[in-house]
Amino acid sequence: MNNMIPQYDTKLLTEVWESVNDFCYDYQHNGIPTSISVNSAMTLYYLLYSKYGNNPIANFDEEQFKYKIFAIVFQFGPTWEKRLDVQKKIRELTVDELREGSFAKHNHAYNPTEASTSDEVLDYINEQNTTKYNKSKMDAYGQLWELLKFDVTGEFLSKFQGCFKQFVNPERTYIYVSEDE
C-alpha cells in the first residue's frame, strides 16, 4: 500500500505535544502563571487537538508557539472556564427556578425620630408593599434558550486560530511510503 505523506515546514500540534500530560506539564512550567485549573487545561488540550491537531503551527520557533498558546490561555482562559461553570448552572435550573421572577419590598415609616442615610434600615415601619413577579413557562424557556445558544467554547477556541497556518498546503514534495520499505 502506497501513501502520500504531506510535509510541512513546521510541526503539527500533535508533534509539539504528543499527549495531554506533555501539554499540562508545559502549561504548569512555562513561566506564565496558570489561570485555569489543570482539569480545564486537560479539556482544552483535547479541544485544541480536535480542532487543530493535524494543523501545522504558524511559528518556526516551537517555544514561541507554546508561549502564544499559553498567553491566550492566560488572557482568555479564566473567562472561558467561568462561562462554562455559569452555563452548567443555568442548564441545571429547574422549571420552577426558571419561572421565579424578582421580588421587591417597599417599606414606609412616618415621622422617624432620626434621619436615615440611604443605606440604613429603619427600626420600624408603618406600611409595606410587596411585588413578586413570575414568568410564564414560555418566557422562562425562552430566556433559557437565549442564554444557552451562545457557544462559549467555540469563541474561545477561535482565539487560537492565529497560532496555526491559515492556508494549509504541503510546503515540500510529497513523500511516498510503501509497505515494501
Q: Would you give the DSSP letter of residue 177?
A: E
Please report, to the nearest 10 degrees, the dihedral formed by the alpha carbons of residues 29, 30, 32, 33 taken in order.
Answer: -10
Residue 177: what pLDDT?
A: 61
- Bridge partners (DSSP) of residue 176 are 4
pTM more than 0.85: no
Backbone angles phi, psi at 11, to 5 degrees: -75, 160
Q: Is the pLDDT of residue 160 over 90?
A: yes
Query: Count of domains in the chain?
Result: 1
56 Rama class: left (phi>0) / alpha (psi -120 to 50) / beta:
beta
pLDDT digits (tens, 9 = 90+) for 50-102: 999 888 999 889 999 999 999 999 999 999 999 999 999 988 988 888 888 88
* CB within 8 Å of 19: residues ≥ 6 apart: none
Q: Could you list the residue range(s) of the whole structural domain that residue 125 is in? A: 3-177
Q: Is the pLDDT of residue 17 over 90?
A: yes
